[in-house]
Amino acid sequence: MWLLVIFCLLVGMIIGFQMPVLLPLVYAKYMSIAVLAALDAVFGGIRAYMEDGFDNTIFISGFVVNTLLAAGLAYLGDRLGVELYLAAVVVFGVRLFQNLGIIRRYLLKKY
Amino acid sequence: MRSKGAQVSIAVVCLVLGIMLAVQFKTTQSLNTDLVPARVEELTQKLNTVTNERDTLGEEVLSLREKLKNVREDNQAMADLQEELQKANMVAGLVSLEGPGVIVTLNDSTRNLQAGENSNALIIHDSDLLMVVNELKASGAEAISINGERLTSMSEIRCAGTLILVNWAKIGPPFEIKAIGNPDMLESGLLIKNGFVESLKYLGIQVHIQKSEEVEIPAYSGRMDFTFAKPLQYKEKAE
């Protein structure tokens, strides 16, 4: 399981670094929020997996929808002049740490 | 529910996440080495200017090389000298010129003087003419004359009692300023919002701008003496 996650992450990063894609500066901000949302979704998925409550549909849909929503929200905030992306950063940041804490406890219990 | 499907979806999502992370890394890296966007714009503009300048200089190099070759061939040298002379004369204002441009007519205000108002407010001053001429120059005018007096590098526009001196000739209203250049540029330069012409009109001074395809500007008719100035000798040899 862990090997799979790390392996896929590495492969993805290698592909990403080799890709000749460079985001325009304007979209870099939205991409960063999207990355945060994606990270949150993955950690949430791992946690659910360890809790045996993993649901494929929820996981995939959560990943896609959260990512797009976070980027969209940041964009909307920019249009409206409200720093909405801060909301996304706070929410995903808090959830990320919660998930990480739960995963850590599971791992401690296990070994 | 540790099915194979779950592992596959985690793998796929991790793959996508990896790609996103990598792209973001790259973008952030380039952002850090890059400059702030506002500066980028400024630099782009500067680059454009410099590129234009380089192109012009490149053309000049070509024509100078051509001339150098002609000098060596001798019989073309005279023609080149003539051409240079003509150009210098045009710059100095020693030849009459014609071309597209604008004719600006200024006349004193016909407004009745209000009680307590200074009559100075209604007439055209030397500074008004200077401002209009300056605006024309800034809009790319190549030659300017006021009431038939060609403006040269040594021309003055100066108040002299009830009249105005240009090239030591006394002129009075109505003033007719002729300028050769891009007519649209000249006109829009004058009519710019909150510009000088607008404030003149506000004072009631009659300003009339007419674009023309054929503007004739006479040559400077006076003497041009250099008593004090003499050309600087180049100490270093120009490449």
Q: Closest Cα to residue B199, out of B109, B117, B139, B103?
A: B109
Residues B54 and B135 placed together within one structural domain of the fold: no
Asked if B16 and A23 come within 8 Å (Cβ–Cβ), the reply is no
Return the pLDDT at B1: 46
Q: Is residue B77 over pLDDT 70? A: yes
pLDDT, residue B42, reads 85
CA distance B11 to chain A (A): 6
Size of interface A-B (CB pairs under 8 A): 118
**CA angle at B196 for the pair B213 and B103, rounded to the nearest 5°:** 20
Do residue B74 and residue B101 come from a single domain?
Answer: no
Q: For residue range B13-48, list pLDDT tens digits in order.
A: 888 888 888 888 887 777 666 556 677 788 888 999
Which pLDDT score, from 0 to 100, does residue B32 have?
64
State the Cα–Cα distance between residues B7 and B3, nearest whole angstrom.
Answer: 7
Q: How far apart are CA B172 and CA A65, in angstroms?
A: 78
Predicted confidence pLDDT, tens digits, chain A (111 residues) = 778 888 888 888 888 888 877 777 777 788 888 888 888 888 888 888 888 888 888 888 888 998 898 888 888 888 888 888 888 889 889 999 999 999 889 889 887
* Domain count along chain B: 2
Q: How many angstroms separate the CA of residue B4 from the nearest CA in chain A?
A: 10
Please state which of the ranges A39-43, B5-9, B27-31, B108-112 shows the lowest mean pLDDT.
Answer: B27-31
Q: What does the pLDDT read at residue B35?
A: 54
Nearest chain B alpha carbon to A53: B1
Range of the domain at B47: 37-91
Closest chain A CA to residue B40: A25
- pLDDT tens, residue by residue, B187-229: 998 888 888 888 888 878 888 899 999 999 988 887 777 888 8
Residue B197 lies in a domain: yes
Q: Give the integer Cα–Cα distance in Å for A98 and B63.
A: 74
pLDDT the model gives residue A58: 87
- Residue B110 sits in the same domain as residue B204: yes
Alpha-carbon torsion (B229, B230, B235, B239), positive or negative: positive
Does some domain include residue B10? no
Assigned domain for B236 exists: no
CA distance linking residue A99 with residue A47, whole number of Å = 6
Q: What are the residue ranges spanned by the domains of chain A?
A: 24-110
CATH code at B208? Answer: 3.30.70.1880
